[in-house]
Amino acid sequence: MTDASPVLFEERPLTNGRYLGVARLNAEKSLNSLTLSMIDLLWPQLQAWASDPRIALVLLEGAGERAFCAGADLTELHAACLAHHASDARDDITANRYALDFFSREYRLDYFLHHYPKPLLCWGHGVVMGGGMGLMAGCSHRVVTDRLRLAMPEINIGLFPDVGGSWFLQRMPGRAGLFLALTGAPLDASDALFAGLADVEIAHADKPAVLAAIEATHWSHEALANGALLDNLLARFARHSAPGPLATALETINAACAGPEVGAIVAGIAGLAGRDEWFARAAATLAAGSPTTAVLSIALQQQLAKASLADVFRAELVAALTCAARPDLAEGIRALLVDKDRNPRWQPNSVAAVTPAWIDGFLHSPWSAAAHPLADLGA
């Protein structure tokens, strides 16, 4: 595979004849934003390594020094949405073939990572957002570095925290996951650990030493034993940063986001703007973001509170395709990345104008359970 490939693969020899499989997202200029071609390269290679007895463990990383993965590459999705909106099949959410292919294959890959049969190490350095968080969330060993900027900022583009976000955001302390879904607030390494989105913080400068230690370790043929070896190895390099704003202000966040009523939650977050710059930016993002995203994010977390990961991905596929068929996603991408005027015209244009009937349309599958594209993920 040439250096021009969007994903590079390498098998590095280890001390005792085993190998480390390395998958590197290779789109440095776009902060390794995830494309469908990347997904289609990762899927068969990670499957092959999963069943290859020579491979002891796998490393997932991003090229360059700025990002692991800044999320999905939205260029083709924007064009596909506009074409679908202009077509005679605009009312059929499954007719946007690119969106269906992208989201279904991305979610299938993410689900596979959550069930990977070998230690899977993600080096979460720099920007980790959206689709990048979807990749990292499923890895068994999630390293974050001193230069981490992690977020789920989908409210800026009229999507919602997908890639399993409706599952892992609910597993955070208190109401932190709801707050992050509504505000896209960035987390540092300390808060990523606090939120359960990472396992260990390691200085990025120590990465060569970590890799050298991996190469020098005597790996077994048992995945559980190798997982414990990797736990101990990473712990030798662990650092502990001071608590971040999410941890230090959790009680305040819990109070602001208490209760089921959307308007009260939005008002509560707006009331935090005067605390400091982090809260001011969070409140401003919610105020400027898609009202549909805000209400939908809350609805999905409520509906999927007890759902399995597989059911979450199935529900998120329906919601994502509905986002692609309705106005806000194309408009959000236009305002942020195409025209770059940062002045999206949301429809509806306020939380109060988002009706239950509007949200219900995101929650009902066009497929029977057996015909769902992700029906085979599991229970």
Q: Report pLDDT digits (tens) over 144-178.
A: 999 999 999 999 999 999 999 999 999 999 999 99
Q: Does residue 2 have a pLDDT over 70? A: no
Looking at residue 259, its pLDDT comes to 77
Looking at residue 19, its pLDDT comes to 98
At 268, the pLDDT band (50, 70, 90 cuts) reads very high
Q: Report pLDDT digits (tens) over 22-79.
A: 999 999 999 999 999 999 999 999 999 999 999 999 999 999 999 999 999 999 999 9
Residues across the chain: 379
At a CB cut-off of 8 Å and minimum separation 6, what does 162 contact? Answer: 103, 107, 130, 134, 154, 316, 319, 320
- CA 121 to CA 220: how far, in whole Å? 17
Q: Report pLDDT digits (tens) over 106-115.
A: 999 999 999 9
Torsion sign across C-alpha atoms 86, 89, 90, 93: negative
> How much is the mean pLDDT over the chain?
96
State mean pLDDT over 68-93: 96
Give the gyration radius of the chain's Cα atoms.
Answer: 20
Q: Does residue 223 have a pLDDT over 90? A: yes
CB contact at 8 A, 170 and 301:
yes
Is the domain spanning 7-377 CATH 3.40.50.720? The answer is no
State mean pLDDT over 311-324: 98
Q: How far is CA 191 from CA 62, 185, 196, 354, in A?
A: 21, 11, 8, 32
- Within 10 angstroms of residue 280's Cβ, the number of other Cβ atoms is 13
Looking at residue 271, its pLDDT comes to 94
Q: Report pLDDT digits (tens) over 330-339.
A: 999 999 999 9
Looking at residue 378, its pLDDT comes to 84
State mean pLDDT over 235-250: 96
Looking at residue 88, its pLDDT comes to 97
Q: Does residue 1 have a pLDDT over 80? A: no
Looking at residue 226, its pLDDT comes to 98
- CA 321 to CA 81: how far, in whole Å? 10
